[in-house]
Structure 1
Amino acid sequence: MKFERFAQWLAKVSGRPLTFASALLLIITWAVSGPLFGFNDTWQLVINTSTTIITFLMVFLIQNTQNRDNDVLHIKIDELLRTTQRAHKALLDLEDMDPAELHALRKHYQQMGEHEAPDPSDNPD
């Protein structure tokens, strides 16, 4: 549970404008320091290694955040389907279907949408 809280906190912090500005300032500082270090291999290695490590870690952070958001959306949609009288209860477990079953179901709903007349109560005017 601690990792989830940390990942959520880090995701919020990393998406802020101040974090972006800080990263930009570090890159500018690195670029300006080039002449001081003679643009040598070590100078280049510092930025390459730093950005690679940060990118590697951010991939896992983003995946964790997306998994959590996806789980939350599934729960909310499942609850809406469960409480909606006209909803098909079989749709509650779509995440357990294989891709072929999902494709067939999507095609079925597309065909239903093409043949269904628009509901006048859906018109916001």
Structure 2
Amino acid sequence: MNFAKIAQKLALWAGSPKTFLGALVLLVLWAVSGPFFQFNDTWQLIINTSTTIITFLMVFLIQNTQNRDTDILHLKVDELIRANKNAHNAMLGLESLDLKQLEAMRRHYQAMGEKEAKNLGAEQGLEPKNKIDLNQC
């Protein structure tokens, strides 16, 4: 079994309500056991070490899952661009452009969007009260 399949199964397991509940139960048991161990350094070290190791491993698991989801999303968008006759097929290769080229394209599409927004406002007889900043999400 390869890493991608293992990561996908672990991500599904880690994100489940049962896993969350299990972690919560372990945390409560650890807290309740504090008086029995007189809240000593070893008792604290157990939770610190456990959470550090789990967090360290989860970073890689989450990154793998995020990369997979991003790749899937890109493929779906690429297919929509390819299938749409009015779309620019050059958009299918954006991943190979450097940051300056991407910024230039963003400015080009921003200008197109602002022009379309003005045209839409003019068609409806509206004057824009404030310039819309398309960089803000």
Q: TM-score, normalised by structure 1?
A: 0.89
- By how many angstroms is 1:114 displaced? 1.2
The match for 2:4 is: 4
- By how many angstroms is 1:91 displaced? 0.6
- By how many angstroms is 1:102 displaced? 1.2
1:80 to 2:80 alignment = yes
The match for 1:60 is: 60
- What is the rounded CA distance, in whole Å, between the counterparts of 1:99 and 1:113 in structure 2? 21
Letter in 2 for 1:55: T
Unaligned runs of 5+ in 1: 119-125
Letter in 2 for 1:83: A
The match for 2:45 is: 45
- By how many angstroms is 1:93 displaced? 1.1
- By how many angstroms is 1:53 displaced? 0.3
- What is the rounded CA distance, in whole Å, between the counterparts of 2:93 and 2:26 in structure 1? 47
Map residues 1-125 of structure 1 onto 2, 5 A cutoff. Answer: 2-116=2-116, 117-118=119-120
- What is the rounded CA distance, in whole Å, between the counterparts of 1:101 and 1:45 in structure 2? 50
Per-residue CA deviations over 1:83-122 (Å, capped at 9, x if unaligned) read: 111111111111111112111111111110111245xxxx
* Bigger relative contact order, structure 1 or 2 (CA pairs below 8 A, ≥6 apart): 1
Q: TM-score, normalised by structure 2?
A: 0.82
What is the number of equivalent residue pairs in this alignment? Answer: 118
- Bigger proportion of residues as helix: 1
Letter in 1 for 2:88: H
Letter in 1 for 2:55: T
Structure of larger gyration radius = 2
Letter in 2 for 1:4: A
Unaligned runs of 5+ in 2: 121-137
- What is the rounded CA distance, in whole Å, between the counterparts of 1:26 and 1:8 in structure 2? 24
